[in-house]
Amino acid sequence: MIPFLRLMWLDSHLQVVDVTFVDRWLKERKREISDATYAIYEKTAERFLTFLGGDADRELGSVTKSRIVDYRNQLADKLAPATVNRDVKIIRMIFRQARLDSQRRARLDPAPIRSSR
């Protein structure tokens, strides 16, 4: 299993990974990375959102293992292995940030759902 797929289990307070989230993620990275690296991140995010199509506005959990494998395979048909690995790593970073943001929001939830016993 590729490391990206380990992030597929998430709680019910899931961050929607859409163009707005990705734009915010990119802006946050811009201060931390070179212009050349930013351009790579931006191209990778654009490529992934284009691949997702209409699913780009759905919850992260709706992106299945088979979609990720399809994305990786599509890249592998066109790009060098090092580029594919780099792109998957960047996409994993975006998903990881979405997961962390979701966990932070869940901790701040003033009325968490609890099971009744």
DSSP H helices, the chain, are 19-30, 35-52, 65-78, 81-108
Handedness of CA 73, 76, 77, 79 (dihedral sign): positive
For residue 53, give the DSSP letter: G
Q: What is the spatial distance between Cα 3 and Cα 89, in angstroms, rounded to a whole number? A: 9
Token pair 């899931």 in the structure block, residue: 14
Tokens of 61: 């959990």
pTM: 0.71
14-104 domain in CATH 3.40.50?
A: no
Question: What is each CA distance from 16 to 10, 34, 70, 95, in whole angstroms?
Answer: 12, 27, 21, 10
pLDDT values of the chain reduced to their tens digit, one per residue, 117 residues: 333 333 333 333 344 555 677 888 999 999 999 999 999 999 999 998 889 887 666 665 677 778 888 999 999 999 999 999 999 999 989 888 887 877 776 666 555 555 555
Tokens of 67: 């979609």
Residue 16's DSSP bridge partners are 59
What is the domain partition of the chain in residue ranges?
14-104
